[in-house]
Amino acid sequence: MQDIQKKAGVAALIGRPNTGKSTLLNNILKQKVSITSPKPQTTRFSIRAVYEEERGQIVFVDTPGIFAKAVDPLARHINRQAHNALSQDLDVLLYVIDHTRRRDFEENKTLGHVRKISSPKILVINKIDVRSPSYIVEYKFMEEEFDHVVEISALTGKNIPTLLDTIFSFLPKQAPIVDTSTMTQPALNLDSKTFIAEIIREKAFLFLRREVPYRLTTTIDKLIERDNGTLYIKARILTNDDRYKAMIVGKKGAMIKEISMAARKELETATNKKVYLELTVETDPHWIEYL
């Protein structure tokens, strides 16, 4: 008989780009499920992941950051992903803001979406480990619109236990939503190829110039575990113009080597296996259509 004395529910994270939603989720789970970088458009689809402890179960939904002006196909795709995630039944909504950035039209648009949600809402003020600059006074008016306010540092983990206490306070007593008995990792919608592709894309974002990441994606063509236990990965970085391909490859192949080495090291740590990564770059002006 299932234990319904514990709590269970769905908690969605929303915010404009680069407020730290993915960093927060990774810190809560103590495992990387969502890639991070200083660049907007890092998270391109919603990540669903399960947190479980003695009090019960939280199914987190990490939504992509909402763009104020979705003028290109990728931004429109990302906004659709965020809207779709928010259209499902939620038990609690976490609105993550970054007090070190001024409130702007993009923030106002995101707040407009939040106001349409009838579920309990928590205002999560992130980056409290950073004292200056701070524009917290620009966000003070929001507090009266939320059921609870929690100040945290997603990076250092400060007050994350308080945030979890608050989330559980809004969840109903019910049986677990997800059977985790056969799960090998907390993410519900990341298979091995998707996870590997995301790690490579993250490293590309970190090494490349500011303008390139918006114009690339990654795809995995082969994933094989060889008899000696080595993971063989054949992957491609796709970009929409030869000039970006040249930037990604770098002079004498230096940039693609840096990206490949960093991705391989992280994948070896994540899988506890030796990894052989064959990474190439191709120009494909239609790659956005594959998302």
Contact criterion met (CB below 8 Å) for 256 and 250: yes
Considering the segment(s) 192-290 as one domain, its CATH architecture is 2-Layer Sandwich (3.30)
DSSP category for residue 5: S
Q: Do domains 7-170 and 192-290 have the same CATH topology?
A: no
Q: Can you give the residue ranges of every domain in the chain?
A: 7-170, 192-290
pTM, full prediction: 0.70
> Which residues are within 8 A (CB) of 151 and not within 5 positions of it... i.e. 6 or more apart?
125, 128, 159
d(CA 126, CA 157) in angstroms, rounded, equals 10
Cβ neighbour number for residue 124 with a 10 Å cutoff: 28
CATH fold, domain 7-170, is Rossmann fold (3.40.50)
One pLDDT digit (tens) per residue for the chain, 291 residues: 455 689 999 999 998 888 888 889 989 988 877 666 665 555 555 778 889 999 999 999 887 654 444 445 544 544 454 445 454 678 999 999 999 999 988 888 889 889 988 899 999 999 999 999 999 999 999 999 999 999 999 999 999 999 999 999 999 999 888 887 766 666 665 677 888 888 898 888 888 876 676 678 889 999 998 988 898 999 999 998 899 899 999 999 999 999 999 999 988 887 788 999 999 999 998 877 766
Please return the burial class of 258, using the count of CB atoms within 10 Å of its CB with bins 0-12, 13-18 and 19+: middle
CA distance 86 to 93: 9
Cα torsion 190, 195, 201, 206: sign? positive
DSSP codes, 98-109: ETTS---HHHHH
